[in-house]
């Protein structure tokens, strides 16, 4: 196998039973994870003197027939071994896991166990408080706007935990600004794909699927999060805004905590106790946004997400 030639780009090629990782340079394309790939059919292509690597693939295979380059190859946005701190994504090439675009992991999750366990314990307490409230008020379409002091306390605690998660992700990615508000936090929506997540509370069939970040936008970073806006108003002006401390907003805030645990830590984000109470799902990730296992070492390298500066 050729070495010491810097890789220009990395691509994935999806087959029926596998997702291949390819290294492309100006002079060759190489299928990773195979032994003696240079002599294997369909695993190594070298540019001829009269063309590019893509020309060689087109000449030697039917892969690019009637297609423009890159054809069946998907250009990856991250080099192998790179990942963003506290941002989970599917990992291409892990021999221990069957690859799934809807299942994410954080490569260095083992280094975050203390934080993760504390966060899970806090969410378990919030879910227990929500259950206690629902033993008094059965959640349904006719009761979602019920409000009260205990519901207000739950809303404030859940939204405060959301802020803690968000601030931690920003700091982990190198952003240490003192200013902490939704104008600052809304930068997380795209990198963590927060709008794609949904939550269901298993014990309450009349509570529909909740997507707590679905409408979050930069133009109205607070108002577009109804439950967060409610938290902000009832925290500072309980007397005139008390009605916004509703059961519906409490459910949404607790759901937001669950989303942020999974968005940060993937499949490991929810404890067994939490999984008995709720589910967190999301739309599949795009292949190009996935992480790729290190190819020339076993070391993962954290890099700060540029959009979180």
pLDDT (mean) for 210-221: 97
Q: Give the separation between CA 191 and CA 263, rounded to whole angstroms.
A: 10
Longest dimension (CA), the chain: 78
The reply to whether 4 falls in a domain is no
Per-residue pLDDT tens over the stretch 261-276: 999 999 999 999 999 9
Two structure tokens written together for 227: 């439950």
Q: Give the separation between CA 218 and CA 72, rounded to whole angstroms.
A: 35
The DSSP element (H or E) to which 46 belongs, if any, is: strand 44-46
Same domain, 96 and 128: no
What pLDDT score does 4 carry? 38
What pLDDT score does 40 carry? 66
Per-residue pLDDT tens over the stretch 26-52: 999 999 887 776 666 789 999 998 899
What are the C-alpha distances in Å from 207 to residues 90, 210, 266, 275? 29, 8, 24, 17
Same domain, 14 and 88: yes
Same domain, 123 and 246: yes
Which 3 state secondary structure label does DSSP give 13? strand
Number of domains the chain contains: 2
pLDDT (mean) for 269-298: 93
Domain housing 259: 109-284
What pLDDT score does 177 carry? 81
Same domain, 60 and 145: no
Query: Exposure of 77 by Cβ count < 10 A (0-12 exposed, 13-18 middle, 19+ buried)?
Result: middle
Which neighbouring-strand residues pair with 212?
A: none
Least confident of 37-51, 101-115, 240-254: 37-51
The reply to whether 2 falls in a domain is no
Same domain, 95 and 134: no
User: Rounded to an integer, what is the distance from CA 6 to the centroid of its chain?
Assistant: 30
Give phi and psi for 200, each to the nearest 5: -125, 135
pLDDT > 60? residue 149: yes
The reply to whether 3 falls in a domain is no
User: What is the rounded average pLDDT for all residues in the chain?
Assistant: 92
Question: Is residue 90 within 8 Å of residue 103, measured between CB atoms?
Answer: yes
What pLDDT score does 96 carry? 64
DSSP letters along 256-298, please? Answer: HHHHHHHHHHBTTSS-HHHHHHEEEEEPPPPGGGSEE--SSSS
Same domain, 182 and 200: yes
DSSP letters along 155-196, please? Answer: HHHHHHHHHHHHHHHHHHTT---S--SHHHHGGGTTTTTGGG
The reply to whether 203 falls in a domain is yes
Same domain, 77 and 148: no
The DSSP element (H or E) to which 122 belongs, if any, is: helix 113-134
Give phi and psi for 129, each to the nearest 5: -65, -40
Q: Give the separation between CA 238 and CA 79, rounded to whole angstroms.
A: 50
pLDDT > 50? residue 3: no
The reply to whether 1 falls in a domain is no
Same domain, 102 and 124: no
The reply to whether 242 falls in a domain is yes
The reply to whether 187 falls in a domain is yes
The reply to whether 202 falls in a domain is yes
Same domain, 219 and 117: yes
Same domain, 89 and 135: no
- CB-based contacts of 274, cutoff 8 Å, min separation 6: 120, 123, 124, 127, 258
Question: What is the pTM assigned to this prediction?
Answer: 0.91
What are the C-alpha distances in Å from 152 to residues 48, 164, 235, 241, 278? 69, 18, 8, 11, 21
Same domain, 233 and 157: yes
Same domain, 259 and 304: no
């Amino acid at each position: 196998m050729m070495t010491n030639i810097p890789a220009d780009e990395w691509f994935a090629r999806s087959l029926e039973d596998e997702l291949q990782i390819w290294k492309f340079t100006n002079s060759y394309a190489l299928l990773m994870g195979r032994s003696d790939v240079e002599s294997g059919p369909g695993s190594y292509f070298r540019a001829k003197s009269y063309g590019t690597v893509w020309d060689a693939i087109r000449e030697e295979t039917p892969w690019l027939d009637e297609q423009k380059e890159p054809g069946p190859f998907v250009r990856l946005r991250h080099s192998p071994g790179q990942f963003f701190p506290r941002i989970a994504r599917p990992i291409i090439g892990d021999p221990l896991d069957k690859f799934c675009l809807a299942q994410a992991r954080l490569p260095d999750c083992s280094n975050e166990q203390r934080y993760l366990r504390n966060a899970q314990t806090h969410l378990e307490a919030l879910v227990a408080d929500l259950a206690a409230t629902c033993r008094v008020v059965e959640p349904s379409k006719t009761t979602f706007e019920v409000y009260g002091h205990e519901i207000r306390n739950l809303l404030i605690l859940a939204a405060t935990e959301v802020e803690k998660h968000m601030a931690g992700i920003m700091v982990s990615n190198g952003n240490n600004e003192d200013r902490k508000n939704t104008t600052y936090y809304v930068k997380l929506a795209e990198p963590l794909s927060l709008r794609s997540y949904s939550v269901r509370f298993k014990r309450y069939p009349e509570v529909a699927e909740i997507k707590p970040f679905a409408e979050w936008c930069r133009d109205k970073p607070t108002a577009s999060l109804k439950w967060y806006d409610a938290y902000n108003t009832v925290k500072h002006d309980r007397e005139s805004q008390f009605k916004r401390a509703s059961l519906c907003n409490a459910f949404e805030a607790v759901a937001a905590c669950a989303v942020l645990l999974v968005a940060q830590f993937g499949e490991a984000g929810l404890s067994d106790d939490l999984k008995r109470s709720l589910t967190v799902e999301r739309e599949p990730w795009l292949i190009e946004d996935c992480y790729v296992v290190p190819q020339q070492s076993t070391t993962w390298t954290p890099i700060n997400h540029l959009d979180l500066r």
